[in-house]
Amino acid sequence: MTTNNNGEKYWKLAKIVNTMLLCSHIYLIIMFFMFQVRLMVFVNIVSILVYLINYFWIKRNLHVFFGNAYIEILLHMILAYLCVGWNSGFQIYTFALILTVYYCDYLGQKIKKPSLHPRTVSILAGVLYLAFYFISSRIKPFYDITKWHAGKIFFVINATFVLVYIIFFMENYRKIVTGTEKQLEEAARRDELTQMENRRSMQERFDRLPELAGTDAEVGIAILDIDDFKKVNDTYGHGAGDMILHEVAQRILAAETEEIHTCRWGGEEFLILAVGKMAYPSLVNALQKILGEVRTDRHDYHETDIMVTISAGAAKRKTGEKIEHTISRADDCLYQAKENGKDRMEVS
């Protein structure tokens, strides 16, 4: 059984479901007692015991929990149908069974444990529903509850229970799908190693520059590159290189403000976009701070201190200039910084 946050989420959901089913049987036992359906009073006492025991299984084995719930719903539905007939609406719990088995299969995939194929069980539930329909005119219920008009009361209660059950599951499934989509979208926008925005995400910011910058805002671009990064990989291995990339990225990320946005541009290169009324001076100040901090950082790799420097080039966008041209000028400044001895920045 998984012990991560997702596991906690599934356990919490299972507890809510178990409590819903327990409460529904407490209500049903009262109704069956009122209408003198003695067999179903006993059956519901057993059902309540099943759901009380199920609290024990929730964190130990979700498959046992859902299996118990599935079997209980199935047997309760069959016995209730035989006792009070088609008009009481107990056959509509087949729809709840189908939903339960599909959700159980979903959880089984999440916790890496196989489960009964949901299509097979769903077909059997559908066949059972049809069987109830065809035999309803041939088999009389064990108990006559027509004198209390109890059939309509039971039908309304059962339809309400099943509807609430379906809405609850669909709402939770919608949240799961929405949350997964957000996680995938965030993963697509983030570089896995550095946790910075990636090039694609920054490109989306460039596309929104007219909206972000307005009419009187400055736009600055800086490109940073770790000096002699290949030598780090060749000397200490790619594990050391990954560590250096991550720790340098954290220094750059720390410079982010409402005006300054950073990303991993590719390889050992990073890009900073500054947008605002005083964006370019802010960008230059941020670069000076980043270079100074990286210059003095000691990166501990297997009890070996590794020190690196970075070079940077910065450019302020000219009026009417395409952002691609500003990036190109910043890249030219970076090249000039490398030519002038590295561990420095050049601006345009």
pLDDT score recorded for residue 64? 84
Residue 259 known to be catalytic: no
pLDDT score recorded for residue 5? 59
Contact 340, 333 (CB under 8 A): no
Q: Kindly name the residue from 72, 197, 259, 268 that is annotated as catalytic.
A: 268
pLDDT score recorded for residue 3? 45
pLDDT digits (tens, 9 = 90+) for 76-126: 999 999 999 999 999 999 988 888 788 777 766 766 665 557 888 888 888
- Cα-Cα-Cα-Cα dihedral sign, residues 158, 159, 164, 166: positive
> What type of residue sits at position 107?
L
Contact 131, 158 (CB under 8 A): no
Statement: the pTM of the whole predicted model exceeds 0.85: no
SS3 286: helix
Class of domain 199-347: alpha beta
Q: Where are the domains of the chain?
A: 5-189, 199-347
For 172, residues 6+ apart whose C-beta sits below 8 A from its C-beta are 13
pLDDT score recorded for residue 277? 87
Q: Where are the alpha helices (DSSP H) in 58-149?
A: 62-84, 93-110, 118-135
pLDDT score recorded for residue 1? 39
Between CA 144 and CA 33 the distance in angstroms is: 14
Low pLDDT (below 50) residues in the chain: 1-3
